[in-house]
Amino acid sequence: MSYLKEVKRVTTTSLQTMKGAGEKIAMLTCYDYTMAGLLDAAGVDVLLVGDSASNVMAGYETTLPITLDHMIYHAQCVSRGAKRAMVLVDMPFGSYQSDSSIALASAVKIMKETGAHAVKLEGGEEVVESILKITKAGIPVMGHLGLTPQSIHQFGSYGIQGKGEEAANKLIKEAVMLQEAGCFGLVLEKIPAVLAAQVTHALQIPTIGIGAGVGCDGQVLVMQDMLGMNDGFAPKFLRKYASLGEDITRATTAYVQDVKHAQFPSPEESY
């Protein structure tokens, strides 16, 4: 029956085809079932269960405290809500850095317990062995270069990365390494637009930028930032498509007033 027509899932192959066809890839972070359904229906290609959940869902200052089990919980919720989008899960800090067998075990746990389709991890040369091992097990991996927030204490700030010839050459070299290790895509965070375009041109796999200019094959933003729910955060790269923070405060204030003045519920809203 036509109303039961199956929705075609976005896969690593579809993302590769999109790059080939010059069709941009829209990715957003997502951490729960309700939002997953809404973002999926709006045509987002990839829902990233980002470790930014540590900041925007749990209220921590960095992405470091979130655990593998917390990420698995968020990914399970998103997987239940997404019908078309690929569900991509960040491997949290500490779940892959120590050695490649631990990295594989963490990736397998994510895939077994969440219904997600791929994992993402941060870093260059130092994570190549883990990527080789995880992809050999049949798990698609997306890389992440440039500003990698799990290394914030090493960077010392959330400033732009890949500035200057040496840093730019290192980033290009590592991007190629990640592609050769089997990554199906690469996030480029907070690097000069010219460098991101150069990496995008040099790679066969799609690049997804955040603060990396329009030359990437796709873009990603943190959902709460994009929807205007996080007023304190306004970096240059962020475009706010709504003011949900203001809307929520206005609606909630009206609700509180109605309750306080016995204006809610009305007889029509009562049994």
**143, 120 in Cβ contact below 8 A?**
yes
Of these, 26, 28, 44, 90, which contacts ligand KIV (CB under 6 A)? 90
Rg from Cα positions in the chain = 20
Of these, 30, 35, 45, 51, which contacts ligand KIV (CB under 6 A)? 51
Residue 95 one-letter amino acid: S
Cis check: omega of the bond before 265, within 30 degrees of 0:
yes
166 is catalytic: no
The answer to whether the Cα torsion of 40, 158, 100, 217 is positive or negative is positive
Distance CA 56, CA 226 (A): 12
Site size toward ligand KIV, by CB under 6 A = 10
Categorise residue 123: left if φ over 0, alpha if ψ from -120 to 50, beta otherwise.
left
Q: How far is the CB of 192 from ligand KIV (least distance, A)?
A: 17
Which one of 125, 189, 246, 268 is the catalytic residue?
189
Of these, 220, 226, 227, 229, which contacts ligand KIV (CB under 6 A)? 220
Residue located via tokens 């997502």: 30
**44, 24 in Cβ contact below 8 A?**
no
Is 145 a binding residue for ligand KIV by CB under 6 A? The answer is no
Q: Which residue lies nearer to ligand KIV by CB, 233 or 255?
A: 233
Residue 44 one-letter amino acid: V
Q: Which residue lies nearer to ligand KIV by CB, 101 or 120?
A: 120
Of these, 50, 81, 123, 192, which contacts ligand KIV (CB under 6 A)? 50
Is 187 a binding residue for ligand KIV by CB under 6 A? The answer is yes
Is 28 a binding residue for ligand KIV by CB under 6 A? The answer is no
Q: How far is the CB of 101 from ligand KIV (least distance, A)?
A: 24
Query: Which positions from 193 through 212 interact with ligand KIV, judged by CB under 6 A?
Result: 210
Alpha helix segments (H runs only) across the chain: 12-21, 33-41, 53-56, 68-81, 100-114, 128-136, 152-155, 165-181, 193-202, 223-226, 244-260
Q: Which residue lies nearer to ligand KIV by CB, 52 or 179?
A: 52
Q: How far is the CB of 48 from ligand KIV (least distance, A)?
A: 6
Could you list the active site residues? 189
Q: Where along the sequence are the contacts to ligand KIV (CB under 6 A)? A: 29, 50-52, 90, 187, 189, 210, 220, 222
